[in-house]
Amino acid sequence: MHYAGSCHCGRIAFDLETDAPITEAYDCNCSLCRRRGGLLWFGTRAQLRLQGEPEALGTYRFNQQHIDHHHCPQCGIAPFSEGVNPKTGEAGVAVNLHCLPELDLAALSVHAVDGASR
């Protein structure tokens, strides 16, 4: 499945390729996700193709400094984060599904993730 996503102003645009339609999302309660309100889908970094220059990304790291939480310096939207899966060593991505305009968020099965206790 192909999804096109972006921040609000469009400066950070990306394409997401998934094996199947996105039907599930994860709602994390860590200190960052709770504040920014992301609804997440997790996949491999290879599934996301950034349009434009990586220099357009603002990046924030906190806690153990393992995840690059990207945001647009112009409009402030955080479309995705990336890091390495500690169990597999594979580059992973967490996409904010609010940034995929054609996705029906109301149709998703949403699972709570207790990121606050990690």
End-to-end CA distance of the chain: 32
* Other Cβ atoms within 10 Å of 108 Cβ, number: 17
| Interval 17-31 mean pLDDT | 94
pLDDT at 8 over 90: yes
DSSP letter string, 5-66: EE-SSSSSEEEEE-SS---EEEEE-SHHHHHHT--EEEEEGGGEEEES-GGG-EEE--TTS-
Considering only CA atoms, which of 112, 37, 21 is closest in space to residue 77?
37
**What is the model's pTM?**
0.91
Q: What is the predicted pLDDT for the residue at 69?
A: 92
Q: What is the predicted pLDDT for the residue at 49?
A: 98
Number of domains in the chain: 1
What CATH number did the domain enclosing 17 receive? Answer: 2.170.150.70
Pairing of strands 40-44, 67-71: unpaired
- Domain of 85, in residue numbers: 2-117
Local confidence band at 78 (pLDDT 50, 70, 90 cut-offs)? very high
Considering only CA atoms, which of 26, 80, 91, 94 is closest in space to residue 50?
80
Q: What is the predicted pLDDT for the residue at 91?
A: 96
| Interval 43-47 mean pLDDT | 96
Q: What is the predicted pLDDT for the residue at 116?
A: 82
Local confidence band at 62 (pLDDT 50, 70, 90 cut-offs)? confident
Provide the mean pLDDT of the chain.
92
